[in-house]
Structure 1
């Protein structure tokens, strides 16, 4: 609920001030997949998870939430998935490893540790923070969720932005082939 700050214009000597009533300990977590396939438009699949503020419940995504996101993505995309993700501890749990091992349509590669510059989803978060979430004081958690959904939905309809997030990593979709010379 703490608003991210961004730059804005104002008259000289009149610094704009946004008053925030109080900080909330509630959290909103989002998991997202950027989906690329040569010859098709890029896609963004995401799921938000809202912390209800209860102490006895988990505040962020569990491995089962990621599992459900991957199953939904598989159904939506209708084909095998090659998943490249970071080394978040939830991605490496025993339950997630068992789930991955039991799915022939899912191939997983881990990014190197501390390499957010290779993750296209980080570009999505940057777009969201710099655009729809910047300079806004959210009054309620619902206001924050609504703004996040509006921002992500508009990114979904702009495959050029999703492509730009992949280009920003320096990675590409074209597979490299190695020629082997017969001896």
Structure 2
């Protein structure tokens, strides 16, 4: 099924937080190693994780000082925020700036 969505190899880069170490997940990833290559960042190293800037921006846009009434509202806010990031290459460049 993975190949139908992603024709090339997937490189999964994740932080080393505890919920990324679930046995079931790792068993599945091991079975998919022909298609998915996993890289774990060192623990407690957000400065190495390019997505930290995205998560910070997302929290400010979506949840900071806001009460969301439903999961649908949360989903809608997240979708709007992620699409706004996709439409703004300069914002993506800003998130990646520290990694130049």
TM-score by length of structure 2 reads 0.72
Distance 1:96 1:85, change over 3 A: same
Assess if the C-alpha contact under 8 Å between 2:62 and 2:74 holds in 1: no
Q: 2:27 aligns with which of 94, 106, 112?
A: 94
Q: Distance in 1 between matches of 2:31 and 2:44?
A: 25
The 5 Å alignment of 1:11-160 reads 72=5, 74-75=6-7, 79-87=8-16, 88-90=20-22, 93-100=26-33, 102-103=34-35, 106-160=36-90
* 5+ residue gaps, structure 1: 1-66, 173-183
Across the aligned residues of Structure 1 and Structure 2, the Cα RMSD in angstroms comes to 2.8
Q: More strand per residue: 1 or 2?
A: 1
SS of structure 1 residue aligned to 2:13? strand
> Post-superposition shift, 1:80?
4.4
The 5 Å alignment of 1:155-170 reads 155-168=85-98
* 5+ residue gaps, structure 2: none
> Post-superposition shift, 1:155?
0.9
Distance 1:85 1:137, change over 3 A: same
Q: Distance in 2 between matches of 1:71 and 1:93?
A: 21
Assess if the C-alpha contact under 8 Å between 1:133 and 1:148 holds in 2: no
TM-score by length of structure 1 reads 0.44
Larger Rg: 1
Q: More helix per residue: 1 or 2?
A: 2
Report how many aligned residue pairs link the two structures.
96
Q: Distance in 1 between matches of 2:69 and 2:96?
A: 33
> Post-superposition shift, 1:131?
2.1
